[in-house]
Structure 1
Amino acid sequence: MTKIGYARVSSKEQNLERQFELLERAQVTKIFLDKLSGKDNNRPQLKEMLNYIREDDIIVAAELDRLGRNNKEVTSVMNQIQDKGATLEILNLPSLSGIQNDNLRRLLNNLIIELFKYTAENERKQIRERQRQGIELAKEKDKYKGRPLAYSSDSTDKQKRLTYEKIVEMLEKDVPITHISKELDVARNTIYRIRDEK
């Protein structure tokens, strides 16, 4: 049985030292670290760790969100860890290290993580619902403008404004939408929207 740590930071985060300190306190023998920038989804160290782990290993992370950026990614990583017969220990969740029976500890650990994921997903749904309600209320008061259109006559991007004018010109000449889409490299749905506005 080996205790293996996993840490992930983006270029914007400054908590690498904190994660390392927490993992060292948890007495991990090896740490895999991914440094990501922006929306980079490539996590080579996570992949290497998933290949490295063996049955009865314990994977330790400071927080559940270190394993992925969303519920789907986290669930996928958790499933891969379980498939290898390893367990997952998340340091900001209740510890089950005092339970001697491996099967019981694994079962309770998985239950806690599933509850945590369920709670996080519910929070996201509630945020989306409140946002939807806020938009509806703003629409009722005629204050909601929506996201500005990328291709329009009043677009802030000069190139997109010129492209919009070119689309309108081509539509007036009855140029097929598929041809306009290919020539200007604009999605057909965008061209349909512009056509329907006229």
Structure 2
Amino acid sequence: MEVGYARVSTQEQNLDLQLDALNKAGVKKIFTDKVSGAKSQKPQLEELLKYARKGDTIVVWRLDRLGRTTVQLIQFVEELQKLGISLKSLTEPIDTSTATGTLVVQIFCVLAEHERNVLRERTRAGLNSARIRGRTGGRPKGLSPKYEKIKDLVKNAYESKGSTTAEIMQAFKIPSRGTLYRILETAGVEVTSFVKRK
């Protein structure tokens, strides 16, 4: 049995083009979603998977209706293969019930794996290059411009000992004690001179 699936990204978009193509192909049972391809939850696609049985074929107008990325698509195809369900696209040469269609999907898998490997290699090369130049990544050192402007005021308030650290943090909108101590250190207060104050 052939079971259709159609999806558009928003409520405003129209399913007619996909539904017409699926009906013309003779697909009687069709599930539809109006949800972004980026979202992992597609309620009607999940219902379709519960409905379909071993030997059935899921028919879509185009493969991108199933997922936005090649990785998502490959994961979906692998899931279907485990269930004994085929996949067919009306606008692309994909039909996993045939040897040629299966070959095309396998080529997609190889290309996706190659893409992941290239990305990993580029990331490693970039990190190595940065290390050679003395950069280790992570958050840049120093204060943000906002705290750079007030560091001397914070230092004066802290050294006057007229306010608690909590009061200083509240007055200057400093989110954490660690940030406060970083501001003080940048302003010239010795770390060893920090005293715990409630």
Report the TM-score, using the length of structure 2 for normalisation: 0.55
| Partner residue in 2 for 1:42 | 41
| Partner residue in 2 for 1:113 | 105
SS in 2 for 1:163: coil
Note if 1:68 corresponds to 2:79: no
Give the superposition deviation at 1:15.
Answer: 6.0
> What CA deviation, in whole Å up to 9, does each residue of 1:118-167 have, x standing for no partner?
44665677789899999xxxx9xxxxxx9997xx85479xxxx8437x53
Structure 1: tracts of 5 or more residues without a match: 97-103, 140-145, 176-198
Percent same amino acid at aligned positions? 37
- State how far apart, in whole Å, the 2-side matches of 1:80 and 1:116 are: 15
- State how far apart, in whole Å, the 1-side matches of 2:12 and 2:139 are: 30
Q: Does the 8 A contact of 2:174 with 2:180 survive in 1?
A: no
Note if 1:167 corresponds to 2:178: yes
What amino acid does structure 1 have at the position aligned with 2:100?
Answer: L
Q: Does the 8 A contact of 1:10 with 1:38 survive in 2?
A: yes
| Corresponding pairs, count | 159
Structure 2: tracts of 5 or more residues without a match: 131-136, 147-172, 183-190
| Partner residue in 2 for 1:82 | 81
TM-aligned CA distance change 1:92 to 1:121, over 3 Å: farther
> What CA deviation, in whole Å up to 9, does each residue of 1:52-106 have, x standing for no partner?
111221111122232223334322321232233221101232266xxxxxxx943
TM-aligned CA distance change 1:25 to 1:113, over 3 Å: farther
CA radius of gyration, larger in: 2
Report the TM-score, using the length of structure 1 for normalisation: 0.55
> What CA deviation, in whole Å up to 9, does each residue of 1:17-50 have, x standing for no partner?
3322322232211111222258532111111111
| Partner residue in 1 for 2:185 | none
Note if 1:55 corresponds to 2:50: no
Give the superposition deviation at 1:107.
Answer: 2.8
What amino acid does structure 1 have at the position aligned with 2:178?
Answer: I
Q: Does the 8 A contact of 1:50 with 1:80 survive in 2?
A: no
What amino acid does structure 2 have at the position aligned with 1:108?
Answer: T
